[in-house]
Structures are given as structure tokens and as C-alpha cells.
Structure 1
């Protein structure tokens, strides 16, 4: 009986023992033409055994890379793609570069920078003013959520000036009504009205009156 411990190591277990045995058999063929022909057949079989690769770009290229790995980097065939070296396979992927916000303003997010650039490109007019209102509103919301504290309008204007590299200076803004920019005053009044309506409904509810009498 043959045990797995006595067999050659599976270089890519997802393909199974049969595929690797075929690759090892391919390496023993005498002529390069025979090895190349058999390699094409193995690659087709590998594609059937691993159909998820078909949804990826250049999946054929990946299959040829895999057959080279299964051959332990020792396969003399005419491949349609260059085989990767061992160093290339062992090398780690390069670290992705993430966009960095200026200073300590990362909590505003990349979308704010994109909106600022868009506002700078627009000509003076209602459309630009409306976009600035959106930017300021979202900046204040993001600031309050991240820092969990109230922020004044002047702070938002200063941050907007720094983020836009002095291209949007709203510290002396007069054309826009600040009350339209921020949501805090309207939301507070809305919450107050809701509380008043709730208290009024509770006072007019006969059950509440009876419950108060029972407590007495």
C-alpha cells in the first residue's frame, strides 16, 4: 500500500494528485514536441478542474504558471507565456498607495477632496455656491461624527481653506447664508418640536392621568 507520506509533495493541492502525476509524466517524455503537446492537454484539464479561474483576466496565463509550479520549476516546453522565476513567485506584492489627506483631516474622507476640486473648477455662480454648501455641510457632519463634539463654523471654513490650498477661502463669506449650510440649528429645532409634541400627547392621554393617580 502506498501512503501519501511516501509520495512526492503536492505543490498545488487544489489540483489534486492526478494532475501532478500527469505533469511529472510529461517531464519524462523524450522530445520537446511531445512534452509541449501533453502540456497543452494538461492545461486544458486544469482549466476544467478549476473553473473559477475562467472568470479572471488572462486565466490561460495563470494556468501555465501553475503547471510550471507543479513541475517544481523544471519543465522544458514551448509555453505561450514566459514562465515566472522562483524569485518572482516568492516576492510579495507591492503595497498599495492610499490617498493621503492633508494634515489631520483624514476623517473628512476622499470624497470631500474630490468635491473641493470640482468646486474650484466651477465658475462663479449659483452652481458653485450650491456645491460649497454641500461640502461645508458634509464636512461638519464628518467632523461631529469623528470627534464627537460640536464644531464652530469658523473651524470648518478654516479647514476648507487648508484642504483647498487657499483656493477656496470662505472665512469672510458673505454671499451665502450660513444658516443654509449647516444642519445643526434646523435639526435641533426639529428635535425640540418632536419632544414638545410627545409631551403634549402624553399629557392628554387619559391612561397617563390614571397612572399618575395610582402612584399617589
Structure 2
């Protein structure tokens, strides 16, 4: 079963290591550290790297960009990420000096703003993949990311998978008609529920108090 990725309130949020990637990417990388199966952790991190890649529209040299992204991910993890980077990339604490390029804020359709500003671009990149299996894996990651963003944006409503998939299909503008078989639980986030146990405690003490009164009257 997937581990929960907790979303906390602003007052208790940790500082962003690299603000250009946003809080969600930082949460994804921190979540990757909790995945016990090494192969699953490797695939997950590669998916996050792909996500970071789509967020940067200026790809000059793919090799250099990939190296920078892997080193940024390692830095965000606190230099504690047990994964195997591509050949030729060495992950050490010396990567701390690498600065990310400024990511421009793209135009986003207001209707889907709660999913984040880069979802449309990531979706277009996923749809451009020729390999069907990789495309669907990326769609699953994007959908899971959207589900996480939806829960963060609106804690009071249940994030229905069919609603997320329907939005994905609409955003694809006719390029896909069905998303059957993809799972949106790569990031299983618990929704916020107010504690009801505290409200019940006064009732218990009240009943106990009444019983004690009856005992006194009998005496």
C-alpha cells in the first residue's frame, strides 16, 4: 500500500530548498525517500525528474539539463536519496552550488488553475511521447499530481478519480478519449478531517456526572 504524503498548513510548512520547482515537487522528492522498494523508488524519481524537465521550457543541451535536474533533485532531498542516476552523473553535496534557471510563469486556463500552472505543458509533452507505455505512465504521474493539487486546493471535497480523468481528457483537447486502466494513487494523500472525538468527550463526562448524582440521591 502506498504511503501517505501529508499536506500541512502554511504555518507548519518547511522551507523550499529550490523555490523554482515549487512545494509539490519538493513533496514528491521527500515522498520518494519513503518508498522501500528500490525499483519502485527509482521509477518514481525518474518520473519526478521528467516532471521537472517539463517545467523548464528552455532545453539547450538535453544531457546538461538532465544532469542539472538530477543534482537539483538530490539537493532537494537533503542529499539523502538512494537512486541510480544516468551514467556520467555523480550525486554529491558539491552540487549545492548549481543554481536553477528562472522558470517563466506561463499563461494558464483559469478553469484548471487549481491544478498548477504547468499541468497543460506537461500534458502536451506526455501526449507527444510515441511509446504508449511511457505515455500512460506519464499520464498516471500527471493525474496523481493533479489529484494532489486538487486536495491541497480544496480540502473539504473528495477528489474523485473520474473527475480528475475527465479534466485530463478535456485538457487534452480531443487527443485522448479514454484513460481506463491508469491509476491516480502514486501519491496517496489523506484529506483533512476535523476531529470529532473532542466533541464527544463532554457528552461522556456528562453521562458520568449524571450517574454519580443518581448514586448520591439513593444514599
Coarse TM-score class (shorter-chain normalised): 0.3 to 0.5
More helix by share: 1
TM-score normalised to structure 2 length: 0.37
